A and B are shown apart, each in its own frame.
Chain A
């Protein structure tokens, strides 16, 4: 089968067993890859009600059909599991080099069930699989772990998806990290690995992935490159290649894209442009940049490696923080110290924490402290005030290593922390326990629907109208009339992109319909707009069905009032803005044909879609 290895690996850590199963072309066509195949497998193999941190949860590492084929922007893989944060479906994806290496090693996906009594890692090399002792790795950060694995295995070219100490200690903010700093961050996947005593999945391969029409793929890649370099977005692509997502940090802070002061502030009033400018690549690169960084098969290369040699928080080589991190540890907490940002980013990476939820949890804690909900006794003496850089670094260190009671509280994430202390819930900015990312629906109103309705709530990388709205200054974007059709279209297109392993930063090239350009030459399939729509809808529905089977309903996914302007802000760019989120959500449900109260799809719509028979049965539609 072109574009795939045709094999999935199933490892049972309780039994210590390994099994290969065939990935059929029918399944590949229906669910593409990534979280599409992941959702189908977990829906099939897991029972509802499984403990997310117990052996019955399954964690999967899944590539897409483009991964490892040389197709541009195809370096991503996805981690799936039941989320210990939401109790429902979880997926998160990451770039770097792990995904392509897994396919070169012979597998499209690895699913891990059960739990080990002692720390282990899974070693996959050119089709052979071993479960190996990881006791000596337990407690090591991700950089040290990777170095130790390279030494043990005698191979510097291994790639590994792993957890740091945060995942080992079951922090609900724990991410899966590969290549030292690329993170499948959100939803607590790292804690699921930790609960299985699974330190890492380590891969090495020298194989290749079959491509149906190599000449056509080469031509498609060339078209992408030409558009990137000479098309209408060429200037943007050039800037993005240089500075990555940090190109926008200051702009986002003052335009109202970045949330400020735990979503209760106004950028131009509470934070200011000058502070945020220090967090832009153009300001930081001259001081800290060591080299550029690009993920596998990326012609853009939007990353950079920094080094902080001196100052209060030297960290050695570290990755340039992405925009999300810069806002979460910047405007959200009113921090203007870029070296504190770099330190917090580094701590999150090496301990294995999701930087969005980590920064947002600190923001929640600061507001609690400022409002007297948390005291100096609670924080162990940390003066946790807005913009106190030293306090933020200390709190992040303790959250990462859980060396103190306060750190252990923060490691739960904001929602569980509020639950544990029985107060502070009024300052939470989360949906179903997931802290919101750094794009304010008051600037991009479409984000409200995506944050509330996607099966993984509170995500900016899931489809919808948010990005389009955010990019447009036209105030008509606040009118939800007619939003259902374009919202659903954008959603299902993005489902396929994510499932295929495509990086969403392809947006910066100006290339349109990239799935339709790359999937046909790689797979040899007829894959046009209709096939894309059906696959995207099937994937979205399967992820949603996982949540429905867990007893979830739309009312469980409530948007926090601050993110939609209830009440509206009285100054700044969002003065007077309230997002009619209920209308955007209603329009989406009507368009997709789901019941707005129960969330259930109709039997007939799933019947027409095909490939959803198990969902129809399980949900008794």
Chain B
């Protein structure tokens, strides 16, 4: 199934990628998605506890199982003034 990835803030700055579409197996969780993405985008902090995964506009835990055409926004919040 295909998933849309949207990188934001630090992830976008480091990868220079705004959006990607990736093919994953049925039943793939966010955690498993991270391992796939980690191969493609080296050095991005997918494993950090501060990394947000927002699936279809809802903050989601790493064990969430993804569905076809889900949109996963990946970012870290950066405080600023």
Contact = CB atoms under 8 A, between A and B. Distances in A.
Contacts of B76: 236, 471
Contacts of A235: 10, 14, 43, 45
Contacts of A473: 50-53, 59
Interface string B40-81: 000101000111111001110000000000000101111111
B53 to A, nearest CB: 7
A235 B7 CA distance: 15
A273 B12 CA distance: 14
Interface stretch (A208-216, A244-252, A480-488, A607-615): A244-252
Contact of B13 (A243, A252, A257, A508): A243
Contacts of A507: 79
Interface string B1-26: 00000101110111000000000000
A322 interface: yes
Interface string A247-290: 11011101101000000000010000100000000100000000
A474 B49 contact: yes
A575 B58 contact: yes
B12 to A, nearest CB: 7
A255 B13 contact: no
A575 B73 CA distance: 17
A461 interface: yes
Contacts of B49: 472, 474
A572 interface: yes
A40 to B, nearest CB: 26
A470 B10 contact: no
Contacts of B10: 235-236, 239, 247
B61 to A, nearest CB: 8
B46 to A, nearest CB: 12
A323 B50 contact: no
Contact of A248 (B6, B9, B54): B9
15 contacts: A235-B43, A236-B76, A239-B13, A245-B80, A248-B9, A251-B77, A255-B54, A323-B80, A323-B81, A324-B80, A443-B77, A473-B50, A474-B49, A475-B59, A507-B79
A251 B73 CA distance: 9
Interface in A454-504: 460-461, 467, 470-475, 504
A268 B12 CA distance: 18
Contact of B78 (A245, A282, A322, A324): A245
A247 B14 CA distance: 11
B57 A268 contact: yes
Nearest to A246: B80
A439 interface: yes
Contacts of A247: 9-10, 13, 78, 80
Nearest to A266: B57
A508 B78 contact: yes
A572 B54 CA distance: 10
A289 B19 CA distance: 25
Contacts of A250: 8-9
B50 to A, nearest CB: 5
A573 interface: yes
A252 B14 contact: no
A248 B8 CA distance: 8
A320 interface: no
B72 to A, nearest CB: 13
Given A250-B8, A471-B50, A473-B59, A242 B13 contact: yes
A98 interface: no
A244 B53 CA distance: 23
Contacts of A439: 79
Contact of B75 (A240, A251, A324): A251
Contacts of B51: 473
A244 B10 CA distance: 11
A13 to B, nearest CB: 31
Given A236-B78, A255-B73, A472-B49, 7 more contacts: A235-B10, A251-B8, A254-B57, A255-B54, A323-B81, A508-B78, A573-B54
B43 to A, nearest CB: 7
Contact of B73 (A254, A323, A475): A254
A248 B81 contact: no
A573 B59 contact: yes
Interface in A295-325: 322-324
Contacts of A508: 78
Contacts of B80: 244-245, 247-248, 322-324, 505
A545 to B, nearest CB: 26
Contact of B14 (A239, A248, A467): A239
A324 B52 CA distance: 21
B48 to A, nearest CB: 9
Contacts of A461: 81
Interface string A564-594: 0000000011010000000000000000000
Contacts of B9: 239, 247-248, 250-251
Contacts of A242: 13
B38 to A, nearest CB: 14
A323 B78 CA distance: 10
A255 B78 contact: no
Contacts of A470: 77, 79
Contact of B77 (A239, A257, A437): A257
B66 to A, nearest CB: 16
